[in-house]
Amino acid sequence: MGRDLRVHFKNTRETAHAIRKLPLAKAKRYLEDVIAHKQAIPFRRFCGGVGRTAQAKGRHPNGQGRWPMKSARFILDLLKNAESNAEVKGLDVDALYISHIQPETQIAPSKPKKSQAIRSGQNETY
């Protein structure tokens, strides 16, 4: 599980949606192909301004797709970590598949609020 990763949420959401319900080996191979620009991630929801590519046309009718390298690398590392955890627990690695994957946005740090003293000084008349 990764938290507060320095990746774009929208790219990671589309990458996660593309590998959902895939077997682990197939998902890893797909992400490696994305990093090598052999296959594209189809962009379905956040597709404003995304160009069309023939690689994405086979996976989704709108044909819009990209190759989000950083998101693919982070998710690939996450999958390798999950595979290692399964091996340690003695599970069958060949039977693993991605049943649930959900990226979440980072929590933005709150800005300090202006104090009442600063605001009251702005309204004074001399």
pLDDT averaged over 10-residue windows placed end to end, the chain, 126 residues: 78 92 95 94 84 79 86 94 96 94 80 63 61
Q: What is the pLDDT of residue 44?
A: 81
Distance CA 14, CA 25 (A): 19
In the chain, the amino acid numbered 18 is A
pTM metric for this prediction:
0.77
Please, are residues 12 and 103 in contact by the beta-carbon 8 Å criterion? yes
E-strand stretches of 3-112: 41-42, 65-66
Distance CA 90, CA 109 (A): 41
Q: What is the pLDDT of residue 47?
A: 79
Q: What is the pLDDT of residue 118?
A: 60
Superfamily for the 9-98 domain: Ribosomal protein L22/L17 (3.90.470.10)
